[in-house]
A and B are shown apart, each in its own frame.
Chain A
Amino acid sequence: MDLKLRKPPESSSLSSSSRNLKPDMPFVQFDSASLDHGVPRDQSFSEVFPQFVNQSRGVYVPETVTKNDLVIDWNPRLMLINLSFLEQKIHQVQDVVRSIISQEGHAFDRGNELAVQQQLVTADLTYIIIQLISTAGTLLPNIKNALLSTDPAVDRPDSGMGMNTNLSSGGGQKLNEILPQEVAKSCEYDELIKDFNACVGEGGELIKGLNHAGDELSESMPIDDHDVKDYDDVMDGENLPPGSYEVLQLEKEEILAPHTHFCMICGKGFKRDANLRMHMRGHGDEYKTPAALAKPSKEASSVPSIIRRYSCPFVGCKRNKEHKKFQPLKTILCVKNHYKRSHCDKSYTCSRCKTKKFSVIADLKTHEKHCGRDKWNCSCGTTFSRKDKLFGHVALFQGHTPTIPIDDAKVSGTPDTAQSSEATNGMVGNVGFNFSGNSPNDGQSLDIKSAAYSQGYFSPMNFDACNFSGLDEFPRSVYEVSESPFSFLSTGSCSFMQRNGEN
């Protein structure tokens, strides 16, 4: 699988692609960074081209270190500029292809010319794809997705560049040297460029080859719509042909085990290998060497040529390999989540709504972020996830009212203090109303409390003067007889009250 073997003969495409890159230098700014992050080290890649990875890493490692912060400032405007540029480009290629089509009928003899044109188209497409990948890489986590997104470009091949370009056959190495320095910053990027040069050089063969991990090399044919779409589908639905990958099935216990990495010395378990490595440091100096602390490299351990997929141990599940429409799971994490979600009890309950249950704690957390907040209800029965949407709706329609959730109503102002003070005033019996908003328990406890009060200290008190205009309108006469407990005082508000009552 050495790439160098596959590289097509030398051509002028190098110069074209390097020149093409120049107008849009803005790309460069985020290209490397995005690729570095957005494109995790894909297993298939490293599996397929281990040498390659090694090689490039050796060259570019120092630079990758500084790129972290670049990803933060992803600029949508810049992306838009890039995309529109690519659009133009695609139109140009379209024109070339149209011209090829128009020549098709009567140009059998000009096979040579056709070949040149094809190469020209592929060169341009290569460029477009690379740019698309780098653009998409800023957003998408997976290089595969990025690759997929390029297919519209490939769909509509054409010319436009009017170049005499023959496809680069100089191979990845050479391209690296010629490409602007900034573009070639990350090793992944290098890989890509090489891959694509290789792909294009093989006249599309390699695209398939790549994706099917070399198992299924179809016969050499020019890139056309059908071909690319096919490739697309394969990746999308994970419709790997049976037998093209290795199926692993973990046991239930293995899936549900809280820890997957265990210390060889003390047996302690860890969820992450990195944590285990940190733990190992405590067991002696031999574990503190950079080599021991380094992340075990995948290419070293894994077999490059085989794609691994997983099967659910639950018999009858669609994800179980026995199922006739078996759909494999991609990663171990997928297996874990799938098994918990589909075949385990939902033991995590949302603390807010008390109804939603989850078996994966991450799902619960996601739900809790939104739970309760998306209850913006209108009197018409419509619910909204956002308050401003509800208010927009209410503002628009006559008669629609925001609806207050019932729990809110219950919480609000309980008349407890009121009740007890009322009891001391001897007013409770007077007016027979229920406190509908109160739970019966509340009422009872309060009653007891207030009763205790009135018996203990305050029952004889009734100093209230009857007064309805904010003023006491009658000076008490000195000689008035008062029956209040403080009868030695001058007032007789109680007796006055009674007199009022008679009327």
Chain B
Amino acid sequence: MAETVGNLCRKMHGGEGFDTLTLDLFSRAPSPAPCSYSKPAKRPRVDGAVTMGKDEDRQNPFDFLSEEILFLILDSLESEPLSKKSFSLVCRSFYTAESCHRRELTPLRSGLLPAALARYPSVEKVDLSLCPTVTDTVLFSVGNCLRSSLRSIDLSRSKGFSHAGIESVVENCANLVEMNLSNATDLSDAAAAAIGRARNLERLWLARCKLVTDMGIGCIAVGCQKLKLLCLKWCLGISDLGVALVAVKCKQLRNLNLSFTLVTGAGLEVVLQLPYLEDLALVGCLCIDDGSLLSLKQECKSLQVLNLSNSQPINHAGLSSLLNITVGLRQLNMAYCCMVTHSLTSSFRKLAKLQSVKLDGCEVTTAGLKTIANACVSLTELSLRKCSGVTDDGLSSIVMKNKGLTNLDITCCGNITDLSLANITSSCTSLITLQMESCTLVSKEGFRLIGQHCHLLEHLDLTDNELDDEGLKALSGCHKLSILKIGICFKISDEGLIHIAKNCPKLRELDLYRSAGIKDAGIRAIAHGCPQLQITNLAYCTWITDASLRALSKCSDLNTLEIRGCPQVSSAGVVAIAVGCPKLTKLDIKKCYYVNDGAMLILARFSRNLHQINLSYCSITNVGLLALASVGCLQNMTILHLKGLTPNGLAAALLACGGLTKVKLNSSFKPLIPRPLLEHVEERGCVFQWIDKPFQVELESSEIWTKQLEEMRA
């Protein structure tokens, strides 16, 4: 998109008419509404190219573009932050336009926020989730600068603020609609009372606010009566009383999360009387038991999504009773709940609208699955991930009844054979997601059927399957594939991968973890055939060399690269990636022994968006690490067993890298780094993880690893 601006400039200098250009822009921007925030127009409106004729020589031609047009351009740049920045640097008017146009702010450092807020006055959403520390001062400035334009604030990953900060935001920003205060474990009822003054609040997350009690939630319930979404996950201070008051006062609630709270059946009964409740999460509510569910009588027709996973005390009797009153249910999650038997699933009959069932980790019986098959015919999503007891018979019965199935997860259902695959592929031709990791009994015939029938497939997980090149060739029939996970498939080689590369141009994610047969040729083909590749994992593909990385560097969208344990990779390869992939955010080069400081210097210069890096066992010294520390976005570093690293170098790097949130270090460094320095870095929001692993140079070869895997299974 950067070129768009360039083109724009060129066209204007070349005296080309605006008409074609503006039309072009209109066609790209679907719903522009710039007038609402246009400033008093200093510049004359563009009435065609006529007005600019005379002033062209002494005035900047860009000044004649009206704000509307600039906003339209910016609208079309919405998904391209880099181009937007380029745009703002074109000239003063573009800069102003960009400032007025921006609606969302995601700063890396809260300290810079006051300055940034002065520049962006019409920001509606402030996302502070990248700032580990947000002080009250920052919140004061947010409240004072944005006033009523602020609609949403996210403080879910931040610490360091108190109820005073929240109070100022709430008092100043009358239009606040959305607030995320999750993980604010030290916020008490006083903060909750402050939130209660935000009359227009509609969405509120308070996950893990353990100090908030019924009193606090009571204030919120009374104050924020427009609430539509409320998340009280892990709020252990809140009991039935608070929940009941919420249910009484906030009649607009659509979405309520009570996971891991101490709410009991009494509280649930009141909640189920909410007139518009659609989505209810009761994950791990250990205080809700069968007895209390049995007494539920009043129907809750509005409920569509119910999550009951990890609710051990509930048994099929209680579940049946609950399902009997929630007849409008569309999605049901009963992961890790109780045994799925005939008697349980027979209560599904009443749920005529049921579309999604998740039974992850449950013990299922064939009879139970067959009952589901008889009860539900309109399922689109089914997850039997890690279920024990899934048989061909049971699974087939479901897939044959539910031909509209789009998402199927049968991860670790080890008893599944080609028979199931035949039924799945023949009846569910609209399958979009198929996850079948570790279904080792499925043979090449199964993969052939997938490739033959499931043309709409976009997400396929075949990790740890008996997949070979022939299978891959068959799978290349799924042209829409965008996520392909074929890790731990030892039999595949370049030959199969080339078929994928040729036929699946939309591939965005490719996982080849420990698929050791892959060599440079395969990766080269992928890089060439799948230019949209964003995430790729080549860990322990020991044949991979710099040539692969050079090829991958052509995929400019690449943001995650894992080449752990590829000993043939050197600095040159990493440099190629750094230069070619500016969006790189995650990089794992553990045990790439030949990657040295040179690579780091280049990485620091070009990969300015790097968030996470693993450097263990590389040949990197103080210099390389210090260079890397200048990457402003860097949050997560793993630095183990770097031979050339000294305590001083490490200390300097830690200091220099202001945005760190998590660092894994060898515990031998702990006594060598000055205590106040560590405290300072921790105070900035960084968590240290001291690892005490022995230095282990040799790579486990594929064979040894495989052997261990086999032993583990046996």
Contact = CB atoms under 8 A, between A and B. Distances in A.
Interface of A: 376, 387-388, 391, 394-395, 399-402, 404, 408-409, 411-415, 417-422, 424-425, 427-428, 430-431, 433, 435-437, 453, 456-458, 461, 463-476, 478, 486, 489-491, 493, 497, 500-501, 503
B137 A431 contact: yes
B608 A472 contact: yes
Contact of B136 (A401, A430, A433, A472): A433
Given A401-B222, A415-B162, A467 B633 contact: yes
B68 to A, nearest CB: 23
B107 A468 contact: yes
Interface string B596-622: 000001001110110000000000000
B245 interface: yes
B136 A415 contact: yes
B630 A463 contact: yes
Contact of B215 (A404, A422, A475, A490): A404
A359 B191 CA distance: 40
A486 B656 contact: yes
A471 B137 contact: no
A404 B190 contact: yes
Contact of A413 (B108, B161, B216): B161
B444 to A, nearest CB: 43
Given A401-B223, A491-B604, A503 B163 contact: no
A461 B119 contact: no
Given A437-B164, A489-B626, A461 B632 contact: no
Given A476-B605, A489-B626, A418 B135 contact: yes
Contact of B116 (A409, A428, A466, A493): A466
Interface string B173-200: 0000000000010111111110010000
B111 interface: yes
A431 B632 contact: no
A418 B608 contact: no
Interface stretch (B479-487, B528-536, B565-573, B675-683): B675-683
A493 B120 contact: no
B706 interface: no
Contacts of B249: 395
B627 interface: yes
Nearest to A420: B683
A461 B190 contact: no
Interface string B110-122: 0110111001100
Contact of B190 (A412, A464, A486): A412
Nearest to A421: B683
Contacts of B676: 453, 456-457
Nearest to B164: A437
Contact of A457 (B136, B244, B659, B677): B677
Nearest to A422: B135
A493 B630 contact: yes
A437 B115 CA distance: 25
Contacts of A399: 222
A465 B161 contact: no
B219 A435 contact: no
A415 B167 CA distance: 14
A413 B187 contact: yes
A470 B161 contact: no
Given A409-B190, A418-B161, A470 B106 contact: yes
B189 to A, nearest CB: 5
A391 B241 contact: yes
Contacts of A411: 188
A404 B164 CA distance: 15
19 contacts: A394-B245, A401-B219, A411-B188, A413-B162, A413-B163, A419-B135, A427-B137, A433-B137, A437-B164, A463-B656, A464-B659, A466-B116, A468-B102, A469-B84, A469-B104, A470-B127, A471-B81, A475-B606, A493-B632
Given A453-B680, A463-B629, A471-B583, 7 more contacts: A387-B214, A402-B215, A412-B187, A412-B191, A471-B633, A489-B627, A490-B630
B324 interface: no
Contacts of A457: 655, 674, 676-677, 680
Contact of B632 (A425, A472, A486): A472
Given A402-B218, A404-B193, A468-B120, A490 B605 contact: yes
A473 B163 CA distance: 34
Interface string B125-146: 0010010011111001100000
Given A469-B81, A470-B130, A412 B162 contact: yes
* B107, B222, B582, B609 interface centre (most CB from chain A within 10 Å): B222
A404 B136 contact: no
A417 B105 contact: no
A440 to B, nearest CB: 15
Nearest to B652: A486
Nearest to B104: A469
A424 B245 contact: no
Contacts of A486: 626, 629-630, 652, 656
Given A401-B218, A402-B222, A408-B188, A464 B604 contact: no
B281 interface: no
Contacts of A414: 162
